Structure 1
Amino acid sequence: MRELDRQVAYWDTVGAAKTFTHPLELTWLAGVGRSARVLDYGCGYGRTMAELSAHGFREVSGVDLSPALIARGRRSRPDLDFAVLEDPPSLPYASSSFDVIVLFAVLTCIPDDDAQRKLVDELVRVLAPGGLLYVSDMIVQDDDRNRDRYAAHVAEFAGPYCVFTTSDGAVCRHHEPAHLRALLRDLDLVRERPIDVVTMNGHPSRAVQLLARKQ
């Protein structure tokens, strides 16, 4: 994975203090037993892991490429299972190791199409047959601030439209919902919903959540 699709320096400094906000729709997991093996990929400081644990899920693991975010998570929730990703997107788990995988606001941090595809392929590998992949991510915004950011990036760099640099130095990407569905093409899409979120820098934005099942 290219350095632009990792950005460890950002997440270990400025990003390590951010607050993440994408909501977890627990009704989507209503049919999942509380002994299910759950992986939060890009778990940050474990906010979603903590919510899952509070609702009875007993086997929740989280991985993230940022040692600083993992350290923050371990300080606040030493009872949860955190691990640093050494070589993302590769995971140190056997195939079919998890029943549920959560991928919240991770693809927005990976600008490159090929890197996104490799990540989803790796998640599908470790997802058990019948397992669920729960994705939440940012969609293309139509306000002037974001349109200006998209245009500025296109003028300076090659790559997909809707990539931009935040005011504090992160390179991010917003997506057409159809692009996210295409990434999940090897799975069966079972749920989709638009949501409103507040970004890590405090801006109201639109996002989408998708739930897909492995055959």
Structure 2
Amino acid sequence: MSTADRGRRYWDTTGATKTFTHPVHREWLAGTDRAARVLDYGCGYGRVMAELNDLGFGEVSGADVSATLIARGRRARPDLRFELITSPPVLDHPAGSFDVIVLFAVLTCVPDDAAQRGLVAELRRLLTAGGLLYLSDLVLQPDARSRRRYAARACTPYGVFTTDDGAVCRHHDPEYLRHLLADFHVAAERHIEVPTMNGNRAAAIQLLAHRP
């Protein structure tokens, strides 16, 4: 079974019960037209979609690989538009279909370098010129337990580990994430602490980038 298939199976079972917590920094979107076409890529059950819609964004849609998470989202917010990603990372939309894309705690679920580059390239294709990419993800943790978990998978990119309930995740060097967005202009960066899906505290980074 491929890494992508194992990930989808996790999010359709154990992961479908999780609560996601990365916060939306509203100030970053304060000047964004509320008529902007917004995509939440890796939307899960639509938590961020709902918050953006409640902030006045009327054209919000979400896409995720997990049919179970999407079903959960549709039950909670039937007014929102959810789409299943059947051939990740590709979405069946024309180039430049969106003005804003949010990518919250998605790269942590895509441990492979090449797969991450492919995802970012697809998001660049989907964004209109001048569009915003708002990324939030977890960085390398300094505690001894995290370092042991990273070292246990030495053959993979550093920072990859398996959670106690079976998810393969990745924490990132912030400089790696900046390099991953080399085809964007990074306009803002903030460092925060968030609760993880398993109830721990973890350091995270948020980047706001423009597509040239």
Normalising by structure 2, report the TM-score: 0.98
1:116-155 paired onto structure 2 within 5 Å: 116-154=116-154
2:159 is matched with which residue? 162
Aligned-pair CA distance for 1:5: 3.6
In structure 1, stretches of 5+ residues that fail to align are: none
Look up the equivalent residue of 2:2 and give its one-letter code: E
Distance between the aligned counterparts of 1:123 and 1:60, measured in 2?
16
The correspondence for 2:182, drawn from 170, 185, 210, is: 185
Is the Cα–Cα contact under 8 Å of residues 21 and 198 in structure 1 kept in the other structure?
yes
2:2 is matched with which residue? 3
1:7-156 paired onto structure 2 within 5 Å: 7-154=7-154
Is the Cα–Cα contact under 8 Å of residues 35 and 57 in structure 1 kept in the other structure?
yes
Distance between the aligned counterparts of 1:182 and 1:4, measured in 2?
23
Distance between the aligned counterparts of 2:177 and 2:91, measured in 1?
21
Aligned-pair CA distance for 1:94: 0.3
Is the Cα–Cα contact under 8 Å of residues 43 and 62 in structure 1 kept in the other structure?
yes
> What is the SS of the residue equivalent to 1:194?
strand
Identity value in percent = 61
2:208 is matched with which residue? 211
Distance between the aligned counterparts of 1:19 and 1:44, measured in 2?
10
> What is the SS of the residue equivalent to 2:156?
coil
1:160-213 deviation per Cα after TM superposition (whole angstroms, max 9, x unaligned): 011000000000000000110011100100000001000000000000000000
Distance between the aligned counterparts of 1:145 and 1:18, measured in 2?
22
Aligned-pair CA distance for 1:28: 0.3
Regions of 4+ moved over 4 Å: none
1:86-121 deviation per Cα after TM superposition (whole angstroms, max 9, x unaligned): 100001110000000000000000110000000000
1:195 is matched with which residue? 192
Distance between the aligned counterparts of 1:50 and 1:148, measured in 2?
37
Matched residues, number: 211
